[in-house]
Amino acid sequence: MPVPDFIVDLRRKVGHAELWLPGVTAVVRRVDEILLVRRSDNGAWTPVTGIVDPGEQPATAARREVFEETGVTVEVDRLAWVNAGPPVVHANGDRARYLDHCFSCRYVEGDAYVADDESIDVGWFTISDLPAMRDIFRQRIACALQDDGPARFERLSFCDD
């Protein structure tokens, strides 16, 4: 389901106004491969992304989104990065901004396939030969592949003094 029911309900009240939404990115690793989906809205390759449902834990949302979009079962290993994304304008004119929780996930089982209408393709790519994608997704993948250290987060300039 591309747009969760709770957002459809909100849109009835706020129209196309910008919404602040919690999102997830699931970077799924299988040995030296990464699971990617090719989005149906813009044809871009990305890790699995999605919106956290009201009351849902972000890690649970990441696991759910991977299964809903690809049929693959994963184990969520750790939070890799939290960042506020730039404004987004969707094809229908809806505006949003996402607080993304990027998770490092480990493949458990399942054959990857296009499991919903959010994607037109799905595949495993070697880490050294990823397809072209936006830099923000490459950054999320890089953070998720770092097996040690704390989660990355953005610092405000006044905190760096």
| Number of other CB atoms surrounding residue 95 within 10 Å | 14
What is the third-level CATH fold of 5-147?
Nucleoside Triphosphate Pyrophosphohydrolase (3.90.79)
Show me where the domains of the chain are located.
5-147
Its sign, for the CA torsion 138, 141, 50, 58, is negative
For residue 2, the model assigns a pLDDT of 66
98-125 pLDDT, tens digit each = 999 999 999 999 999 999 998 999 999 9
CA-wise closest residue to 58 among 104, 9, 90, 94 = 104
Q: Which two tokens stand for residue 32?
A: 């030296």
- The pTM assigned to this predicted structure is 0.89
Tell me what percent of the residues of the chain surpass a pLDDT of 70: 93
For residue 161, the model assigns a pLDDT of 42
For residue 91, the model assigns a pLDDT of 84
